[in-house]
Amino acid sequence: MSQTQAHLTVPVSDRDHIAGPDDAPVTLVEYGDYECPYCGQAYLIVQHAQQQLGDRLRFVFRNFPLTSSHPHAEQAAEAAEAAGAQGQFWPMHDLLYENQNALDIPALAQYADQLGLDLDRFNEDLRDHRYVDRVREDFMSGVRSGVNGTPTFFINGDRYDGNWDAGSLISALEEAAG
């Protein structure tokens, strides 16, 4: 694995969105932005890694909306959190990445409807910015861990600075898994 320059300062906990078993030998944490085209590419690569490693991989997603260059990123992150409050974080996460060019409020409401969410609650959550603090907590944990762009990955707590094409990332994950 390449040299690490930074470590994850906020450990993975129950507050995180986690896919995969808690006892997996390797944990991949991504700080991502739903409007970032590179994160859109990474989304497909992470899916491939999840298929390759199966139960040996625990994947954690944390919000890192770069609002200066991606005007819809924060509301998309809030939408993912609002869906998460209704037990649908990962399906919303997937829809947001699969529809990166449509992240305005009407599109977000359409995705919520598609997922069968309580639309009144979802729309109220977005209108009231109920999850903005959660999104900003993720963002600040990233800043404290040395994140300055997206996507940024951490493998077992160490920032991964290598290439994140499928072959390179999966090789690093396989090595970390032992």
Q: CA-to-CA distance for 42 and 58, rounded, in angstroms?
A: 16
143: tokens are 């800043």
Give the pLDDT mean for 38-50: 97
For residue 109, which of 66, 75, 135 has the smallest C-alpha distance? 75
Domains of the chain from N-terminus onward? 17-177 (3.40.30.10)
Q: What is the pTM of this model?
A: 0.95
For residue 33, which of 157, 155, 169, 150 has the smallest C-alpha distance? 150
Please check whether residue 169 is in contact with residue 163, taking contact to mean a CB–CB distance below 8 angstroms. yes
Give the pLDDT mean for 17-24: 97
Q: What percent of the chain has pLDDT over 70?
A: 97
- What pLDDT, on a 0 to 100 scale, did the predictor assign at position 178? 86
Residues sharing a CB contact under 8 Å with residue 140, sequence separation 6 or more, in sequence order:
none
pLDDT category of residue 164 using cuts at 50, 70 and 90: confident
What is the per-residue pLDDT across 110-134, written as a single tens digit (0 to 9) for each? Answer: 999 999 999 999 999 999 999 999 9
